[in-house]
């Protein structure tokens, strides 16, 4: 499958045609946030001036230094990335882009004496692929897009071995052809790579059922500046600390994943997603906890708070059926607001039937009212559309940003309150959903929306982001549940790992990457040294 | 609950009275292995000369320097440990034993300028607690037995926080009183501590159902010479490499666990263990794989090979019913030998009923014949007795040693063959069982039995052990599935982690333990530098 490139100024397919925001959503935004009267188009790509490129060679490896290649590898898709890109005000660009065809080429790039930024799908929303050079004379973007094969499938052991640069749709297609699925569907699914998911400890929309990517990794190969690490595919081991877990989530600062062996599952014959309505977020959280702890958890379980539910129905437009059902629910209960849950099961026909019956019994016991398959279909249809909407909003002068965390069930309400309060001081619309369930807790995914402060867009974002991160840390949540650390969360890492924890990771980096060429400025950049 | 001490020369309760080996077992051993005619009692404890103790003080911490304390903390319970102990030929002993009451006392011990060997239950079978002093003037055994509290249970989140030194029976009793179980039952259950299990990446007999200890750890606190690390209890995170997984399995070489937060489960109302018979080990392995991969896995699943099955029935003695049934099975099938599986379910009454039905359907489809609950009861009654038998055998001049590994399902037969072949060159009786199931593979647990070579007992063991470890590494298994690395597996670690992997762990150690005081000679001792 050919590599899919995103449009340079924002998310997704360059051929994507925005249908604009639905009337209901425009009305809500106008009333509560404000919109620019005239859409603001991005600065033209060809007119963006990139920093002058430092020239260098890497014997045996082809380097691209053209404007387009450098522009497309200069950043990921975080809010600040997009603001800068749309304004034509890039901070950095790689001096060259290397596109290795073999693991040996990767090793050659690591030996070139320049900073190296591993680049998978380029979907980072935390500044994970910005082309920072650190103390080095030049920086190369190591584009892994042509190391894109499914190398083997061990059907008996349910283990598939991939090269890192294969994008998730291609990985799925190749597995599906052999009767398997990875079951990994982050919102970045259309572009993210298998290696990128492993390097960022990714979770997908169906991870309640299939497990996070870290639960799938059974073996991996890493090329580090100090040499290759091969960790064989074993189901479990007591041979000291688990080094897999050191490279999973290492975000390219220790080396480059050259192969990953992942646990796969049989391709489901049936996928069924339905909507359920709860009277309150708290009631819904209790129901999800019961699902997980009673062994009746579905593959997909998402619960929107009252605010997100309201916006979801305002956005629904064509999904009149579900909105009507929800309205009827609210009237019948004589409440103003409610909370929408999307619950989904995947598997054999019988398996889905049985699993659904078990889930629905728990949901009903906790006060859920079924809305049928229509909201499930609507969610499924739009499950990867969020980032396109962000672009539409940016065009109308609106900041829309998301962040996520996780905590134990007993602390979930405290964390939800603290982060919401912090964000509402910076944005008139703050909404949240639970996106992943665990026996001991769950994740919270926040979206906040505000009118941009013209000329201060980055500063405005920085203030809201810092407020949320401070609140997360103070309330005992993890600084990130699945977006990773990158550049944006690095100042908070030491709160989560303690100072000696960051120091231990820095020691590993000094050992494996003694010159500090690997992805400068990410993950370990400032954590632990910030006041 | 008072701390339980083991008898100094071997395993378990000092009040334990051996009933000797059953006649069937004696007959089998005499025929195939050979036995000493006269039982060889251990050297008397009081007559064992310990190395002279180096004197030192640690302000505020009570140190025991008496003969008994030093003797009991000089080693674990590995085969070489027991051989040396029974012969009164100890290599090492701690100069003193510190018994901290508070985490602050632990910090004081780490600051004393002497080597520190953290000591939990002292059950290591891989030399993990031998009182080696490395380059240091003295060595203290840090006995964690009085840091033994269950600190809190968060019933809503199913998280319990323990001090490290609580022994598993006490931890179970305290949890059971609140309606929960840890579900962790290694063969060392009667003595092992929660902290020791976490530090050695332990697995228990019911870990197919409850998960290995590493799957239970949600948070932990570690006192390291470079400072404290607090990793909060979060269900999942993408905040870089998972540092929990760096301390889980760190075997005391990075610091001392001072608190661990573990996921717990509801106390089961019902536990049901049954026996099943297969025509061959291969057939049984296929059945276990199907159980796990079809979502019908029990909590306990153990499959003995033909050799272990034969010995099990010879040992059974009073379990005539099961042996009779098995004999009838073999006659009916007109085969000489068969393989016994023990399968167990835990949960609510209804839950066990349903889970059993699902498992039995899969087992029957794969050719299993049920032997009923009698073999399950026999297994359950004797589930922690293996180490006592080892002592009985030692007394009769017989080496009985176990080792374990794991690999993918498709490699299981290769690994089984390779390790068995290697061991049979050193021992006339070699037997094996599958003890833990995973989606991608399973563990293999080998027992080998040979007449001791008098005067060369350790050398004899070393030859067999090296042959098995070399075979494991060559066949792609992990060097240890749940016994940990300690001193005995350290020379093979670099095969599993690659040289840069060991170097990365050494870098972490240098950062957190710059003087190298923590548990010298273990885990990272020789791995990576052996020819």
CATH number at residue B292: 3.40.462.40
B319 shares a domain with B404: no
Whether the pLDDT of residue A529 is over 80: the answer is: no
B206 shares a domain with B222: yes
Whether the pLDDT of residue B423 is over 70: the answer is: yes
Put simply, the answer to whether A234 touches B493 (Cβ < 8 Å) is: no
Whether the pLDDT of residue A138 is over 80: the answer is: yes
- The pLDDT, as a whole number, for residue B316 is 73
Q: Is residue A39 part of a domain?
A: no
A164 shares a domain with A72: no
If phi over 0 gives left and psi between -120 and 50 gives alpha, with beta otherwise, what is residue B34? left
* B406 → closest Cβ in A236, A440, A496: A236
- Asked if A94 and A56 count as a contact pair (C-beta separation under 8 A), the reply is no
The CATH number linked to A108 is: 3.30.43.10
Residues 455-484 of A with CB under 8 A from B: 476-484
Give the β-pairing of B398-408 and B300-304: unpaired
- Asked if B391 and B14 count as a contact pair (C-beta separation under 8 A), the reply is no
Predicted confidence band of residue B505 (pLDDT cuts 50, 70, 90): very high
Size of chain B in residues? 531
Residues 144-183 of A with CB under 8 A from B: 154, 156-159
Whether the pLDDT of residue A530 is over 60: the answer is: no
**What is the distance between the alpha carbons of residues B313 and B25, in angstroms, rounded to a whole number?**
9
The CATH number linked to B215 is: 3.30.465.10
Give the end of a domain, one of A383, A403, A423: A383
pLDDT over 90, % of chain A? 87
Smallest Cα distance from A156 to chain B, Å: 6
**What is the distance between the alpha carbons of residues B506 and B513, in angstroms, rounded to a whole number?**
10
Q: With contacts defined as CB-CB under 8 Å, which chain A residues touch B247?
A: 241
* B236 → closest Cβ in A234, A237, A438: A438
Put simply, the answer to whether A410 touches B436 (Cβ < 8 Å) is: no
Tally of structural domains, chain B: 5
* B238 → closest Cβ in A224, A246, A484: A484
Q: With contacts defined as CB-CB under 8 Å, which chain A residues touch B444?
A: none
Q: Is residue A467 part of a domain?
A: yes
B307 shares a domain with B374: yes
Question: Does this model's pTM top 0.90?
Answer: yes
**What is the distance between the alpha carbons of residues A331 and A434, in angstroms, rounded to a whole number?**
25
Smallest Cα distance from A145 to chain B, Å: 23
Q: Is residue B243 part of a domain?
A: yes
Q: Is residue B189 part of a domain?
A: yes
Residues facing residue B230 across a β-bridge: B221
Query: How many interchain CB pairs under 8 A, A with B?
Result: 290
At B101-110, the pLDDT tens digits run: 999 999 999 9
Q: Is residue B188 part of a domain?
A: yes
Predicted confidence band of residue B19 (pLDDT cuts 50, 70, 90): confident
Quote the domain boundaries for residue B277: 270-383
Q: What is the dihedral of CA B297, B300, B303, B308, to 10 degrees?
A: 180
Mean pLDDT, residues A187-206 taken together: 98
Is A315 in CB contact (< 8 Å) with chain B?
no
At B178-193, the pLDDT tens digits run: 999 999 999 999 999 9
At B470-502, the pLDDT tens digits run: 999 999 999 999 999 999 999 999 999 999 999
A412 shares a domain with A352: no
| Collapsed DSSP state (helix, strand, coil) of residue A513 | coil
Residues 88-147 of B with CB under 8 A from A: none
- The pLDDT, as a whole number, for residue B322 is 62
A400 shares a domain with A483: yes
Predicted confidence band of residue A315 (pLDDT cuts 50, 70, 90): confident
- The pLDDT, as a whole number, for residue B262 is 98
B138 shares a domain with B188: no
Give the end of a domain, one of A336, A360, A383: A383
Q: Is residue B4 part of a domain?
A: no
Comparing A55-64, A395-404, B119-128, B521-530, which segment has the lowest mean pLDDT?
A: B521-530
- Asked if B127 and B76 count as a contact pair (C-beta separation under 8 A), the reply is yes
Residue closest to B77 by CA, chosen among B407, B338, B391: B391
Give the end of a domain, one of A106, A125, A143: A143
| Complex ipTM tops 0.85 | yes
A377-415 burial string, b = 16+ CB within 10 Å, else e?
bbbbeebbeebbbbbbbbbbbbbbbbbbbbbbbbbbeeb
B482 shares a domain with B494: no
Mean pLDDT of chain A: 94
B229 shares a domain with B160: yes
- Asked if B127 and B523 count as a contact pair (C-beta separation under 8 A), the reply is no
Is A352 in CB contact (< 8 Å) with chain B?
no
Query: What's the order of all strands across the beta sheet hosting A63-64?
Result: A63-64, A96-98, A139-143, A115-119
Q: Is residue A244 part of a domain?
A: yes
Start-to-end CA distance of chain B, whole Å, equals 48
Q: Is residue B103 part of a domain?
A: yes
Whether the pLDDT of residue A334 is over 90: the answer is: no
A409 shares a domain with A373: no
A407 shares a domain with A378: no
């Amino acid at each position: 499958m050919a590599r899919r490139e995103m449009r340079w100024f924002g998310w997704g397919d360059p051929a994507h045609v925005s249908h604009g925001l639905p009337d209901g959503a425009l009305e809500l935004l106008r009333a509560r946030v404000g919109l620019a009267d005239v859409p603001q188009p991005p600065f033209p790509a060809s007119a963006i001036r990139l920093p002058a490129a430092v020239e260098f060679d890497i014997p045996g490896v082809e380097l691209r230094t053209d404007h387009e290649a450098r522009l497309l590898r200069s950043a990921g898709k975080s809010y600040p990335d997009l603001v800068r890109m749309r304004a034509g005000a890039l901070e950095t660009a790689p001096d060259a882009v290397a596109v290795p065809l073999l693991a040996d080429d990767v090793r050659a790039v690591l030996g070139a004496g320049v900073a190296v930024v591993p680049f998978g799908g380029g979907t980072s929303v935390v500044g994970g692929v910005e082309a920072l050079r650190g103390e080095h004379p030049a920086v190369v973007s190591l584009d892994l897009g042509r190391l894109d094969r499914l190398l083997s499938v061990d059907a008996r052991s349910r283990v598939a071995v991939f090269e890192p640069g294969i994008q998730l749709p291609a990985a799925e297609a190749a597995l599906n052809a052999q009767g398997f699925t990875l079951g990994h569907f982050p919102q970045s699914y259309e572009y993210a790579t298998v290696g990128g998911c492993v390097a960022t400890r990714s979770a997908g929309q169906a991870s309640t059922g299939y497990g996070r990517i870290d639960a799938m990794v059974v073996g991996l190969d890493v090329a580090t500046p100090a040499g290759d690490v091969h960790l064989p595919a074993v189901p479990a081991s007591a041979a000291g600390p688990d080094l897999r877990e050191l490279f999973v989530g290492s975000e390219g600062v220790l080396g480059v994943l050259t192969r990953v062996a992942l646990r796969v599952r049989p391709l489901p014959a049936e996928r069924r997603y339905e909507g359920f309505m709860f009277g309150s977020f708290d009631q819904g959280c209790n129901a999800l906890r019961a699902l997980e702890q009673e062994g009746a958890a579905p593959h997909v379980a998402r619960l929107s708070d009252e605010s997100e539910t309201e916006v979801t129905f305002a956005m629904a437009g064509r999904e009149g059926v579900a909105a009507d059902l929800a309205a009827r629910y609210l009237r019948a209960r004589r409440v103003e607001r409610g909370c929408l849950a999307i619950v989904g099961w995947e598997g054999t026909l019988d398996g889905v039937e049985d699993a659904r019956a078990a889930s629905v019994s728990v949901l009903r016991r906790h006060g859920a009212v079924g809305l049928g398959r229509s909201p499930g279909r609507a969610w499924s249809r739009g499950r990867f559309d969020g980032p396109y909407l962000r672009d539409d909003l940016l065009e109308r002068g609106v900041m829309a940003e998301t962040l996520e965390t996780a905590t134990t069930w007993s602390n979930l309400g405290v964390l939800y309150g603290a982060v919401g309060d912090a964000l509402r001081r910076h944005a008139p619309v703050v909404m949240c959903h639970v996106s992943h369930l665990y026996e001991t807790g769950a994740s919270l995914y926040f979206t906040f929306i505000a009118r941009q402060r013209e000329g201060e867009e980055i500063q405005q974002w920085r203030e809201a982001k810092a407020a949320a991160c401070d609140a997360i840390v103070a309330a005992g949540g993890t600084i990130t549940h699945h977006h990773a650390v990158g550049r944006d969360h690095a100042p908070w890492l030491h709160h989560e790992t303690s100072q000696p924890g960051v120091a231990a990771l820095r020691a590993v980096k000094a050992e494996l990457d003694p010159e500090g060429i690997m992805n400068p400025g990410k993950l370990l950049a400032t954590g632990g040294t910030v006041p």
